[in-house]
Structure 1
Amino acid sequence: MIQLFLLIGIVGIAAWLFVNRGAKQLAVRRLLLVAFTVFAVLAVLFPTLVTGVAHLVGVGRGADLLLYLTVVVLLGSLALQEARTKSAEVRTTYLARRIAIDESEPPVQYRERVLGDRSR
């Protein structure tokens, strides 16, 4: 029963990521997502296979291997998100500066407005 819930959760999350990422998502990210999804499904359906892979790479249990891989994926996701956030901040700063320059009052008009107010 737990396998069914885990499979539904894994496939649901993978589908949600595909739908919400949009057309700009790189093919490499999609391939990695597919590979992760296949690995997760195999881990749920065949837990002894994961334990066998864990023993091959020198980890005692399959659950430990899954934990280690999850930590690596999480850290990679955090690094990617940090890079995206910094890029968005740079773009936002550029756009704010560009709008401020475009909407600024020309110096001649400013002088006329300021000096005109003083002469009254």
Structure 2
Amino acid sequence: MQILVQIVLVIAVILGSIALMRGGTNARHLAIRRIMLMVFAVCAALSVIFPEILTGVAHALGIGRGTDLVLYAMVVLFFVYMATAFQRSRQTEVTLTKLARKIAIDEAPNPVDVAEKGDITGR
């Protein structure tokens, strides 16, 4: 049973990473993240209020303790967070590159003015 849990955890990491790396800030993507956050919050609150349920779920999955189950879940969530942070960083870099190109084009000297004045700086 423990190998099954390990396989499920690995698949969860892969699927979570792929889902979040696909990108986009569209409504569907945002809704998925919000739903995942709400599920996590409810599960966290229930595990604090009723720790015996968490231990029971862990035993049902073939995991020794509820705290181990929480650790495994946190590892999965950490990888999902890392994937999200990577995606956000990549989008920021793309936006910054586009902005820098736009500014460079806008501030470039007019070739006609440079030819008339003979000044390379365009002033």
Instruction: Name the counterpart of 2:79.
Output: 75
Higher RCO structure (Cα 8 Å, ≥6 apart): 2
Structure 2 unmatched ranges of 5 or more: 1-26
What residue in structure 1 maps to residue 62 of structure 2?
58
Q: CA deviation at 1:94?
A: 0.8
> Does 1:41 pair with 2:38?
no
Change (3 A) 1:91 1:115: closer
**Any residues of structure 2 matched to 1:7-26 within 5 Å, and which?**
26=30
Which segments of 5 or more consecutive residues in structure 1 lack a partner in the other structure?
1-23
Q: Which has the larger radius of gyration?
A: 1
**4+ runs deviating over 6 angstroms:** none
Counterpart check, 1:112 vs 2:113: no
Kindly, what percent of the aligned residue pairs are identical? 46
Deviation at 1:66, TM superposition (A): 0.1
Please give the secondary structure, in 1, of the residue aligned with 2:118: helix
- Give the number of equivalent residue pairs: 93
C-alpha displacement of 1:26: 1.3
